[in-house]
Amino acid sequence: MATANFRRLLLLATLPFLAPAAARADAPVEPGRVYVGGDGVTIAVVPLKPRSDNKALVRVTGSGTVFDDKVIPHERGDGDGGKIAYSTTYHGRSWFTITVPSAAETKPIPIYLPGRRDVTVKFDERRSAELKTDDIFRAYQKQQSDGSLKALAAFNRPEETAHHEKQLAADAGETFAKRCGYKLPVKINWASFSDDDIKELSIASYCGEPIDAMARLCEDSAEAKRTIEKAIKSFGCTMGPAMQMDIAGTTLNWTTSRSARNMGEFARKALEKKL
């Protein structure tokens, strides 16, 4: 009787350890890896089963960006040099969040987040072992149901155009104001830009090259600075079939193109000719 009781107690004692192993085998996710940055940013990468589908869940925390605490589905693909790239769809465009070496990660790895390009992380073995992948999967299911992941992936034209305008003002606009001595009002003809243009192109570059060209002319010559200040009071940018520049009154109208090449050189020569 004592032997039978002992065996029964031994079986009961082992059951708590057997149950989690069975749950892990049935889980829709595999063990993940956690990467940590010096400023508190963490990124967890959790492969989904089956691994042959090349899909993973990625959760970022502590970055101060819209990716924080979102469990975002990613595609797993081969990168350069045997690296593994994880990409998703953000605001309608392809977005590569992290690319990790297939071998041991010894150097800091850059991660790319909306509004941030200054984050590097390193693999953290302890946090990886402590990662609760089932919790991550449940959070993913909830966010998928409540629409937050769909909103993150969807293209939002007004939001994207506002972002491009802000970037143009911060890049070419500030340089122009500093070198030419006045703020140049800029108007982008958004009706001429397709959704693909907005998603795929750097509008700050395609529209900003003539503004940069004028800024360089102002820096190179006091006479050019006086001429530009007198002749150009506003700037307009349109997407068209080919590059073109004209001045209507005191407005410099710039037509850019997806096929445009050497825009800065073209703009400088056109300005020198027209001014």
Q: Which residue has the higher pLDDT, 15 or 54?
A: 54
The mean per-residue pLDDT over the stretch 23-36 comes to 83
Q: Does 110 have pLDDT greater than 90? A: yes
pTM: 0.70
Place of tokens 């492969």: 47
Predicted local confidence at residue 26, as pLDDT: 73
Q: How far apart are CA 60 and CA 121, in angstroms?
A: 11
The mean per-residue pLDDT over the stretch 60-71 comes to 97
Q: Which residue has the higher pLDDT, 194 or 9?
A: 194
Asked whether the beta carbons of 179 and 218 are under 8 A apart, the reply is yes
What is the C-alpha end-to-end distance of the chain, expressed in Å?
107
Q: Express each pLDDT in 32-46 by its tens digit.
A: 999 999 889 999 999
In sequence order, which residues have a C-beta less than 8 Å from that of residue 263 and are 6 or more positions away? 205, 206, 209, 210, 243, 256
Predicted local confidence at residue 207, as pLDDT: 97
- The count of other CB atoms within 10 Å of the CB of residue 216 is 19
Asked whether the beta carbons of 184 and 173 are under 8 A apart, the reply is yes
Instruction: Classify burial at 134, counting beta carbons within 10 Å of its beta carbon; exposed 0-12, middle 13-18, buried 19 or more.
Output: middle
pLDDT band at 6 (very low <50, low <70, confident <90, very high): very low
Q: Does 18 have pLDDT greater than 80? A: no
Predicted local confidence at residue 25, as pLDDT: 62
Predicted local confidence at residue 13, as pLDDT: 36
The helix, strand and coil proportions of the chain, stated in percent and rounded to the nearest 5, come to 45, 30, 25
Domain boundaries of the chain, sorted by first residue: 33-153, 157-274
Q: Express each pLDDT in 257-274 by its tens digit.
A: 999 999 999 999 999 998
Residue 12 corresponds to which tokens in the numbers above?
């009961």
pLDDT band at 105 (very low <50, low <70, confident <90, very high): low
Indicate the average pLDDT of the chain: 89
Predicted local confidence at residue 111, as pLDDT: 96
Q: Express each pLDDT in 141-175 by its tens digit.
A: 999 999 999 999 999 999 999 999 999 999 999 99
Q: How far apart are CA 275 and CA 270, in angstroms?
A: 8
DSSP string, 110-164: EEEETTEEEEEEEE-HHHHHH--HHHHHHHHHHHHHHTHHHHHHS--HHHHHHHH
pLDDT band at 216 (very low <50, low <70, confident <90, very high): very high
Predicted local confidence at residue 195, as pLDDT: 95
Q: Does 76 have pLDDT greater than 70? A: yes
Flag the least confident range among 6-20, 199-213, 256-270.
6-20
Predicted local confidence at residue 101, as pLDDT: 84
pLDDT band at 57 (very low <50, low <70, confident <90, very high): very high
